[in-house]
A and B are shown apart, each in its own frame.
Chain A
Amino acid sequence: MPENCIYIARSSAIAARALAGEMMVMNSADSTFFTLNEVATAIFQAADGHTPLREIVREKICAQFDVDPEQAQADAEQFVAELSGHGVLIVSNQPLATEAP
């Protein structure tokens, strides 16, 4: 999938809650549990289905954290792949309708 057309949306099967600066994410389908750090939380919260991942990284990560843009993009893609593998994020090369929980 070309990197410049990745769109991500949060699955409707997940429950999420912020606590002490971290995001707790639970997949209600299989009860798997994840904790996201600050950078991962920024990506997760921006996963609206219609903002390209590259734009999320530029606007939400590079603009707010002291990171190398290419490294940030690579890390974001790895993070997205990992969470989509667990059903937490939905990934597409086209804009996605945001799933209402």
Chain B
Amino acid sequence: MAAPLKVACVEIGRVPIALSTCDDRFLDLLRQRYDGFLSSSPPEFELEFDLADTGPVSDDDVRVRREGDEWLLERGDFCARWNPRTGQGRVRQNANPYSLDSVLRILHSLILAERGGFLLHAASAICDGRAYLFSGVSGAGKTTMTRLAPADITLLTDEISYLRPSADGYAAYGTPFAGELARAGENCAAPVSALFFLEQGPENRVDELTSAEAVRRLMRNILFFAEDHGLMEKLLATACDFVARVPIRRLTFYPDSRVWELVRNFDRDFERNLDRNSPGVPEHA
């Protein structure tokens, strides 16, 4: 007789997902890993985990594709099926927490794409009630920015930002997905004030980006794995909407705490310079 399923509900970005398993140790692992994001809300979706000897955590490309009514998520270390209509899915993986993180991230990326949001490879933090996002390639300074943050800054994540549309723009939510900082974000949210694409340099400065360059950089850093044309169209529409509604800048920074003064004053300077925005330079294909 099979052991009874035990459930923990993990709520990230106001999306509660019930994770169930027969394995007590795995349940403990996910409760510890997502401590701070455990929820008593009624779950919108359910994932049942079958633990098995799958491969080690893999650098292989993940594949996410439709198969009938279901999404099929595959990588060397996991295989999952999820039906968005019923909200239920099954995951076959070993007890590795990194596989668990990956499955959850992919699932959220699919849910968000349908709802006009997205996961972004970016650190994010709340400063004076507003969220600021810091994106860039590995080594650009996402973790550095979070390490330099003053004490009154609330860290949402140093690795994967969670963004959803809101009445007056977009809101950023905390996630448990940690990067080099190895620290989960706070489970809270704030309206997005700006997105900065990071580059390290000899001085601190903020430069405008054309809309085209902003969309290009944004699309490059959105976590999206699905081989699905319809969802890709939605995602591009979302990216264009985000660029139209949220200030996006290049932030060149010298890695010391003074850069946060620039960030903290961004809203004030943005309002002052609102009329000085220059039109973008068209690019050819």
Contact = CB atoms under 8 A, between A and B. Distances in A.
Interface of A: 12-13, 15-17, 19-22, 24-26, 28, 31, 33-38, 40, 79, 82-83, 86, 88, 101
A35 B240 CA distance: 12
A15 B240 contact: no
B237 interface: yes
A16 B234 CA distance: 10
A21 B236 contact: no
Given A33-B216, A35-B212, A37-B283, A24 B229 contact: no
Contacts of B212: 19-20, 22, 24, 35
Interface string B155-177: 00000000000000000000000
A75 B212 CA distance: 22
B10 to A, nearest CB: 29
Contacts of B235: 15
A101 B233 CA distance: 10
Given A20-B280, A22-B211, A33-B216, A15 B229 contact: yes
Interface of A is mostly: mixed
Range class of the B interface residue count:
20 to 34
Q: Quick one: which of B229, B282, B285 has the most chain A CB within 10 A?
A: B285
A19 B240 CA distance: 7
Contacts of B282: 21-22, 35, 37-38
B211 A12 contact: no
Nearest to A101: B229
A17 B283 contact: no
B236 A12 contact: no
Contacts of A20: 210-212, 244, 279-280
Nearest to B238: A17
A83 B284 CA distance: 11
9 interchain residue pairs of minimum CB distance: A37-B282, A28-B232, A35-B212, A15-B233, A20-B211, A35-B283, A34-B285, A15-B236, A19-B240
A26 B285 contact: no
A86 B219 CA distance: 18
A15 B229 CA distance: 7
10 contacts: A16-B236, A20-B210, A20-B211, A22-B212, A26-B219, A33-B219, A35-B216, A35-B283, A36-B284, A101-B230
Given A19-B240, A36-B285, 15 more contacts: A13-B229, A17-B237, A19-B211, A19-B243, A20-B244, A24-B212, A31-B219, A33-B215, A34-B285, A35-B215, A35-B282, A37-B284, A83-B285, A86-B285, A101-B233
B283 A12 contact: no
Interface string B219-259: 11000000111101101110110011000000000000000
Contact of A19 (B215, B228, B230, B279): B215
A1 B233 CA distance: 33
A68 B178 CA distance: 56
Contact of B240 (A17, A36, A88, A101): A17
Interface string B262-285: 000000000000000001101111
